[in-house]
Amino acid sequence: MVKLIIDTDPGIDDAMAIFYAAAAPDIDLLGLTTIFGNVTTATATRNALRLLEAAGLDLPVAAGATAPLVLPPFKPSAYVHGEEGFGDIPAAEPKGKPLNEEAADFLCRMAREHKGELVVCPIGPLTNIALAMQRDPEFIRNVKSIVVMGGSLEEGGNITPHAEANIYHDPHAADVVCKSGSKVVFVGLDVTHRILCRPEDFAAIAAQSPDLGGMLQEMSHFYIKFYREVAGLNGCSLHDPAAVIACTHPGLFGMRGVPLEVSCGGETSGATLAAPDSARAPIKVCMTVEADAVKSLFLRRLALLP
């Protein structure tokens, strides 16, 4: 059983990842922390509460930073995930409220309370993780691992030719995380671009899980339309679900130990760069994946949802 906190900017593939975690028998989801990226932090927090309530989970949600560590705040683009973060699904107010505790403080406290056991899975920009590291030097020692959806070593970028979106949206925070050493795993575009979910896959999920699967199928129409227009693909990459699956099934990923630096300015801002001559400890970067096995696990477990 993996004790897990997901740091999220929901977001369509974030919703898939969170519902997967809700269905996974080997995940003890302890809560969510929220961050800007696909949407603003306020919308991410509202959406996180909404997803947990839809899944029938009474778990804490801690709202995170509202701006990057150094870069100025930005208005999220609605092009990929829609104005409200769930494609064309209209906004809805959750019943619950977030904690009166900032995400970074919640992460530090939970890492202390679950010393050596907590896996943190950031699937948005890394601002909250960097703040937790800066606020508590013990944080990186207390966590078991940090499994990031982010970066790209040889695949190129998705928001610019050089950068993956989560890293691009806060490169300074990502560089803080890359300095922190060997407990960090990057599940980046080198592997997530190998895992494609098609309209018929979402239809199959919805047939077996009418409520939550139906919600994901509805979101997927908007997301796949983006992939068709931008990449000519009849499907979408399982970016965030792949990171959550790497928390419990690391054996499905081929990992390479690489010291990483992050470009923090100019045309390459947000690029994750191998830095073999740096004094940094190697990050575990996923470079290969058993894509069919990851997709099958995703589809099988989502089918268990109501």
User: Closest separation between CB of residue 12 and Ca ion, Å?
Assistant: 9
By rule CB under 5 A, what string of x and - marks binding of each residue 227-256 to Ca ion?
A: -------------x----------------
Binding of residue 38 to ligand RIB (CB under 6 A): yes
Binding of residue 124 to ligand RIB (CB under 6 A): yes
User: Closest separation between CB of residue 9 and ligand RIB, Å?
Assistant: 5
Binding of residue 286 to ligand RIB (CB under 6 A): no
User: Closest separation between CB of residue 119 and ligand RIB, Å?
Assistant: 17
* Residue 304, amino acid: L
User: 7: which strand partners?
Assistant: 33, 122
- Beta-strand (E) ranges in the chain? 2-8, 27-34, 61-63, 118-122, 145-149, 184-187, 196-197, 236-237, 253-258, 260-262, 272-274, 283-289
User: Closest separation between CB of residue 63 and ligand RIB, Å?
Assistant: 17
Binding of residue 123 to Ca ion (CB under 5 A): yes
* Contact (Cβ atoms closer than 8 angstroms) between residue 168 and residue 269: yes
User: 258: which strand partners?
Assistant: 283
Binding of residue 14 to ligand RIB (CB under 6 A): yes
Which letter does DSSP use for residue 66 in this model? S
Contact partners, residue 288, CB within 8 Å, separation at least 6: 191, 253, 254
Binding of residue 11 to ligand RIB (CB under 6 A): yes
If we measure between CA atoms, which residue out of 168, 196, 186 comes closest to residue 9? 168
Question: SS3 for 39?
Answer: coil
Binding of residue 259 to Ca ion (CB under 5 A): no
Which of 34, 145, 158, 272 forms a contact with ligand RIB (CB under 6 A)?
158
Identify the residue whose tokens are 């606020």. Answer: 135
Nearest position to ligand RIB, beta carbon: 165
Binding of residue 127 to ligand RIB (CB under 6 A): no
Binding of residue 14 to Ca ion (CB under 5 A): yes
C-alpha dihedral over 236, 237, 238, 243, to 10 degrees? -160
Contact partners, residue 172, CB within 8 Å, separation at least 6: 68, 69, 70, 71, 130, 262, 264
Binding of residue 165 to ligand RIB (CB under 6 A): yes
Tell me whether residue 164 or residue 201 sits nearer to ligand RIB (CB atom): 164
Positions in the binding site for ligand RIB (CB under 6 A): 9, 11, 13-14, 37-38, 123-124, 149, 158, 164-166, 239-240
Positions in the binding site for Ca ion (CB under 5 A): 9, 11, 14, 123-124, 240
